[in-house]
Every structure is written in C-alpha cells, then in structure tokens.
Amino acid sequence: MPLTTDPVCSARGCRDAAVWALRWNNPRLHTPERRKTWVACDEHRVSLTEFLTVRGFLRETVTTAQLRCAPSTTEPLTTEQTTEQPSTGRP
C-alpha cells in the first residue's frame, strides 16, 4: 500500500515532516518478520533511535523515500502505528 500523505514526525508534539523511517519490533510481542514503523524528522532521529535501541527493538532505519519505493512486505507506513510515543524532552 503506497503512502498517500506526507508523514509527520512521531516524536510527541512534533509536527515537522518526517524523513526517516525507524522500523522496529518488540520480540516479546511480534513475530521476527513483523515491523512497526515510527517516522522521524532530522531533529528527532537520534532520540527516537536511542529509545528503540535501548529496548532492543530497532531493526532498521531507512529514509521515508526508500520506504515509499519498497514493496510492502509487512505493514504500511503510518505515523500513528503506536500509542506509545516517546517524549523527546522538548517542552
């Protein structure tokens, strides 16, 4: 399923355009091939990556352009894939 709108950063309170797709899964809940997606602007890429990496969830990082071009083998890219959005410490 192609992405039909421009993605917005998944960081709480950020409305900037997302340019990075952080593909992850929680191995305690998801099968190894399943991927959830958070998208990030340049400013929040590091903090969202750290959040997922510390938990052992991050599987890959690609640009949103790369994700748009790739055939969908798991689930479509959305910016609201999870209700648990990490705080970035921004007011």
pTM above 0.85, yes or no: no
pLDDT per residue over 49-85, tens digit each? 999 999 999 999 999 999 877 655 444 444 434 334 4
**SS3 letters across 27-62:** CCCCCCCCCEEEEECCCCHHHHHHHHHHCCCEEEEE
Comparing CA positions, the residue from 16, 14, 23 lying closest to residue 78 is 23
Q: What residue ranges do the domains of the chain occupy?
A: 1-83
